[in-house]
């Protein structure tokens, strides 16, 4: 922000400036918490009894709040600059000391791109766009550091450190790749994949597993609900996939090209797995009656 002593502001302009400044601090607070709900391999939210599937909504809410406060912060600042005829001077400034305003503008624009491509209308129909633009968080954090300086970045650093640690641990877990034991394609374009598993691996009902198939993409991980029971199927794990998007449709076409007699060739479909993630509690089994509601597939 431009120091207050640089401008002479009227009462309403001063109030706008105060709102912009405080909105920036609120956006920073949201950013400090933003990465905590998506730590899949760490039990940050499980301590509160919140599972990963439910904690993702907090990531969405915090991200939306951060963009809202960040837009108020940037918009209010640009408004004051424009009124005081300093817009051209301040907007493109990249000084060696103090706040770098251009970096703040790049941070806000990057955040808006990430937020827009995360909307359900885009995420569900164009998952690849959502997935790859989400990796712009690296650009976002780098320019955020340039804009705010190290004193403010320390507030965000703990969450970012835990996020990096969680990512490293998950990469180690998913490093040994397995293969597809068998695959079935149903008339509705639903795919059932069966993968081998360690007999010692157990999981609760409604658990989710993330899989990556390098023959389709070396970067994309997709979550799917597990349809088998670890108490019944000791050596295998099954998932059900609906061919809707590009990734799942590509998988369906690849499996279609293999006739049943070539089932042994399924071993050439290398798969990396991560998880399972799911509820650690089975408290619902205490009840005599249960109401089960299911929707979607995979």
pLDDT tens-digit map of 83-119: 766 666 666 777 776 678 888 899 999 999 999 999 9
What's the pLDDT at 59? 92
Q: Which of 82, 83, 74, 86 is nearest to 6 (CA)?
A: 86
> Does residue 42 sit in the same domain as residue 186?
no
Number of separate domains in the chain: 2
Give residue 44's pLDDT.
Answer: 65
Q: Are 185 and 162 members of one domain?
A: no
Sequence-distant (≥ 6) Cβ neighbours of residue 280 within 8 angstroms: 46, 51, 204
Closest CA to 223 of 35, 33, 34, 40: 40
Q: Does 169 share its domain with 194?
A: no
Mean pLDDT of 177-200: 85
Question: Which among 255, 241, 244 has a CA at the least distance from the CA of 210?
Answer: 241
Q: What is the pLDDT of residue 87?
A: 64
140 alpha-carbon distance from chain centroid: 14
Are residues 97 and 150 both part of a single domain? Answer: yes
Interval 213-222 mean pLDDT: 86
Do 115 and 233 reside in the same domain of the chain? no
Domain harbouring 215, CATH code: 2.40.30.10
| pLDDT classification of 261: cutoffs 50, 70, 90 | very low
- Tell whether the model's pLDDT for residue 292 goes beyond 60: yes
Same domain, 162 and 274: no
Looking at residues 265-291, what average pLDDT do you find?
76
* Residue 141 lies in domain: 4-173
Shared domain check, 49 and 140 = yes
């Amino acid at each position: 922000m431009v120091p207050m002593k640089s401008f002479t502001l009227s009462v309403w302009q001063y109030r706008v400036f105060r709102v912009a400044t405080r909105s920036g601090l609120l956006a920073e607070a949201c950013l400090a918490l933003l990465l905590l709900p998506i730590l899949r391999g760490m039990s940050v939210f499980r301590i509160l009894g919140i599972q990963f599937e439910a904690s993702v909504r907090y990531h969405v809410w915090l991200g939306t709040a951060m963009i809202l406060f960040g837009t108020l912060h940037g918009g209010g600042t640009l408004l004051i600059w424009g009124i005081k005829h300093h817009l051209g001077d301040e907007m493109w400034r990249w000084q060696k000391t103090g706040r770098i305003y251009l970096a703040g503008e790049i941070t806000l624009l990057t955040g808006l791109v990430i937020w827009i491509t995360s909307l359900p209308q885009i995420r569900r129909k164009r998952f690849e766009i959502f997935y790859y633009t989400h990796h712009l968080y690296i650009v976002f954090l780098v320019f955020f550091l340039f804009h705010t300086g190290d004193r403010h970045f320390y507030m965000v650093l703990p969450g970012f450190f835990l996020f990096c640690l969680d990512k490293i641990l998950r990469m180690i877990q998913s490093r040994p790749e397995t293969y597809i034991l068998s695959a079935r394609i149903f008339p509705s374009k639903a795919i059932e994949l069966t993968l081998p598993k360690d007999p010692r691996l157990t999981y609760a009902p409604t658990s989710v597993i993330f899989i990556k198939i390098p023959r389709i993409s070396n970067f994309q991980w997709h979550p799917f609900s597990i349809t088998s029971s670890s108490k019944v199927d000791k050596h295998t794990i099954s998932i059900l996939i609906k061919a809707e998007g590009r990734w799942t449709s590509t998988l369906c076409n690849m499996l279609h090209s293999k006739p049943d007699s070539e089932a042994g060739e399924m071993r050439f479909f290398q798969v990396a797995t991560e998880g399972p993630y799911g509820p650690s509690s089975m408290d619902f089994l205490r009840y005599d009656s249960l109401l089960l509601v299911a929707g979607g597939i995979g």
